[in-house]
Structure 1
Amino acid sequence: MNLLFTVCGRAGSKGIKGKNFREFLGHPLLFYTFAAIVLYRDKHPEHHIDIALNTDSSEMKDMIEGNTQINALIVPRKEDLAGDRVAKKLVIWDTLNEIEKITRVEYDLVVDFDITSPIRTVEDIEALVDKAKTLEYDVVFSVVDARRNPYFNMVKENEDGTVSLVYPSECTARQQCPPVYDMDASIYAYKPEFLRDDAMLLAGKCGIIKRKDTAVLDLDHEMDFEYMQVIAKYLIYEKQDAGLIEVINKTAELNSD
């Protein structure tokens, strides 16, 4: 298959300044995402894989451009796609269009990786691609088991000030409720034709893969960044994900040359 792996990151961030390229456990946060991509690419030579970084950040561009381990193509972020209210799907679509002009490759899938979800494994990517390559879905994305269930222990406030379940039910135990999931904003695999459609993400035919629950932290505030480093230190470094650590270190070494 022909796969395009995309990483999209803006220069601006309201919650955590410069979060996409700031240091995370001794290395730029960005390197953790690219390390997982490199490991997958090296393990799966049966696929043609191109990697693209879409950014308006000179710092991110300098980190990745010319790094011979990653070999990513750089797509400058267009000004009209740089706002914080722009749907990411539009940015990925633009990246696909620009890369197609360069490579002249017709891609079967576009797999997008979120920079602010640094804890992912090659097995996660394999599960996603394996499910998406059946082409039964417009998009396949990663989820984790939700920590709360709207049929059992999630409530909403009513107009009179009282509260009620988000979805009324007669469940007396969580196990009786329909399973629900948190979208963990980590990896998404798109059919190229769905990217070119104006439809919102969940308007398409969607499939999911389940990942390890790492508390589904969105890196929006400084404390989120601190908590995620604690989790990553355990899952990556203390549990010795040797392959990922090696690639991160090599990426950093090449970046400093």
Structure 2
Amino acid sequence: MIAGKSVLALITARGGSKGVPGKNILPIAGRPLIQWTIDAARASRYVDRLVLSSDDRAIIEVALSGGCEVPFRRDSALASDEASSIDVVIDALQRLPGYDIVLLLQPTSPLRNTADIDGALDLLAASAAPACVSVRAAEEHPYWTFRLDDAGRLRRYAEPAGGLPLRRQDLPAAWCLNGAIYAARVDWLRHERSFLSAQTVGFAMPAERSLDIDTPDDIERLKSLLEKLPSTSGPEPKVTP
């Protein structure tokens, strides 16, 4: 609970991954991938209940043995490629009513730690915003990205002030979603059906904890990062209002 509000943490993990088969329970440094998220959430100061939404028996068994509650099995219709994450979250909220804040944690962000989770919830409470999502610094700045028009000519996606080229050190900060943390006030989320809005605040995470597992190359990158980190907890996160 935070600021008098109850918090439901939801881990979403379906079977049938195409990029990395069985990735959610793939052993990483002695733990199944999903266990990294379970452990981080269970150590939170604010999470009142941690549950899994999954259609896959193997994932469910691993989650249960790892200390995550599985009060229901996700319907197959919500485990298809066409199903959206927000549909899965709303389904869980309908099955588990009575919570003020929902926290979506995807197991494909294993380096997100407890301090990140609690930091995002702190920011949500302190800002009085309806939602908070985690972000990382953009690798390619929007001012330096282009599209090609019908004639093959370069057109900027975003124009700098005055339309002038900028040096890297002159660029304003740019952020990308990293997929690690999505938090929102339940009543607002039911109405908006999205974590993103003009009122959503961003919780900044460093690049080394923002890895999102989607391909075999991501698995190798994760293993490489783990070899370099002094610990799995990482430094304290930075908060941006």
User: Is TM (by shorter chain) over 0.5?
Assistant: yes
Residues 47-196 of structure 1 mapped to structure 2, 5 A cutoff:
47=46, 49-65=48-64, 67=65, 70-100=67-97, 106-134=98-126, 136-151=128-143, 153-169=144-160, 170-196=164-190
1:73-114 deviations in whole A, cap 9, x for unaligned? 3321112211122110110111122123xxxxx212111111
Deviation digits for residues 145-177 of structure 1 (CA, Å, limit 9, x no counterpart): 1111111x2222221112232212224213333
Alignment partner, residue 32 of structure 1: 36
Instruction: Answer yes or no: is the 8 Å Cα contact 2:111–2:232 preserved in 1.
Output: no
Which segments of 5 or more consecutive residues in structure 1 lack a partner in the other structure? Answer: 101-105, 244-257
CA contact (8 A) 1:52 1:75 kept: no
Query: Per the alignment, in what secondary structure is the counterpart of residue 21 of structure 2?
Result: coil
Fraction of identical pairs, as percent: 25
Paired amino acid for 2:108: T
Separation of aligned partners in 2, 1:111 and 1:203: 16
TM-score normalized by the length of structure 2:
0.85
- Give the conservation status (yes or no) of the 8 Å contact 1:3–1:50: yes
Superposition CA RMSD, Å:
2.2
- Give the superposition deviation at 1:141: 0.6
What is the identity, as a one-letter code, of the residue corresponding to 1:19?
K
User: Which whole-Å CA distance do the structure 2 matches of 1:89 and 1:190 have between them?
Assistant: 12
Q: Which runs of 4+ in 1 moved over 4 A?
A: none
Partners in 2 of 1:48 and 1:173 — Cα distance?
43
Report the AA paired with residue 55 of structure 1: S
TM-score normalised according to structure 1 size: 0.80
Letter in 2 for 1:84: D
Give ranges in structure 2 of 5+ residues lacking alignment.
235-241
Is the aligned partner of 1:207 residue 2:201? yes
Using the TM superposition, give the Cα deviation of residue 134 of structure 1 relative to its aligned residue in structure 2, in angstroms.
4.1
How many residues are treated as equivalent by the alignment? Answer: 227
- Distance, in Å, in 2 between the alignment partners of 1:216 and 1:126 is 16
Residue pair 2:111, 2:210 contacting (<8 A) in 1 also: no
